[in-house]
Amino acid sequence: MLELTEAARATAGVVALTVVAIESGGWFLLRVATGRQQATDFQRSFFRAGHAHAGVLVTLGLVCLLLGEATSLSGAWRWLAQTGVLVAAVLLPAGFFLSAVGTGRTRPNRLVVLLPLGALSLAAGVATLGVGLLQA
């Protein structure tokens, strides 16, 4: 049986519950796709990207959380390896959704800055985890 630290177990539990929020995003996308929620082509593409990134990154984040338990990393490096992707799972979808909100929007607003921050968190998390796994 896989032994998780208390922090990893608690984090995994909270992250698993976020799937309900992602599911709500799917309901919103269904409203957009069926025309019950007005959206421009730009908004539709950003809303789809936000929803897809949320689902994929939460799943990958849970995998990274578990794999981080198999490393000898400690401190900030362990935190980054185990939660960098989960931080990206917040920043990237938020960047897509929040930069596209507003009636008739055809270009992203200033919150698009969350996208490169999320990408940086994603890259830092998986790179740190990869190095930690190779060193273990």
Q: What is the tens place of the pLDDT at every residue in 55-94? A: 999 999 999 999 999 999 999 999 999 999 999 999 999 9
* 1 in a structural domain: no
* 127 in a structural domain: yes
* 125 in a structural domain: yes
Domain total of the chain: 1
* 92 in a structural domain: yes
* 65 in a structural domain: yes
Q: How far apart are the first and last CA of the chain?
A: 19
Average pLDDT over residues 102-131: 98
Assess contact for 53 and 92: CB atoms under 8 A.
yes
* 12 in a structural domain: yes
Domain that holds residue 53: 6-135
pTM, rounded to two decimals? 0.93
